[in-house]
Copies of this chain bind each other. A is one copy, B any other.
Amino acid sequence: MNTRTETRQERKQRTRQELLGAALRLVEDKSFSSLSLREVTREAGVVPTAFYRHFESMEALGLALIDESFRTLREMIRDARSDPSMFEHVIHRSVAILVRHVNSNRPHFRFLVRERSSGLAPIRHAIRAQVRLFASELATDLARFPYMNKWSTEDLQVMAGLIVNLMVSIVEELLEADDPEAEEEIRRLAEKQLRMVVMAAPTWRSKPN
């Protein structure tokens, strides 16, 4: 039994994680806002009132989930950036990485894309802020690519927004897909869509008329 030599902090962290995990498991079939505090504690295996030792409300737990989810998303970006074969097959590699990370973190991604548009205002806004941040980082990355290195900041932002949008909708579709060939089809179309979007790069010039 390893609980024997468990410090108090550790124990607290553990049940905190259990609460977060329980919520994540439960939003698989229900929306977060229709999730009750008692359901979460029941799933986590603690008594309802224990919830308050960790979060002051369900909304607070939701915000914590956002933190957690974006931590895994940042891992993904780090993966993508450190991929040496990236520059040649950017699109192919990016989509591959995205698909892989969605598959190994389905609950987190599901939570994010759902609550991004539905959900309580504070949660919605927290997610959208993070996504915008992500888009900004992408924009600076884009500046290193051919054709785009002369673009204005706004143009880069717009292009980044476009790509992030696309990524969000790819994630949405991946989450709806269950069988692997549906996934393969999504991946194929996703790559095509991305290619179309970046195809604008060589031709683009701000304020065309």
Contacts and interface: CB of A to CB of B under 8 A. Distances in A.
A77 to B, nearest CB: 20
* Secondary structure type dominating chain A contacts: helix
Number of identical protomers: 2
A117 interface: yes
B193 A161 contact: yes
A128 interface: yes
A162 interface: yes
B31 A119 contact: yes
Q: Can you list the 3 inter-chain pairs with the closest CB atoms, starting with the nearest?
A: A118-B118, A199-B200, A34-B34
14 contacts: A30-B33, A31-B119, A114-B118, A116-B117, A158-B189, A158-B193, A158-B196, A159-B196, A161-B193, A162-B193, A168-B169, A196-B197, A197-B200, A203-B203
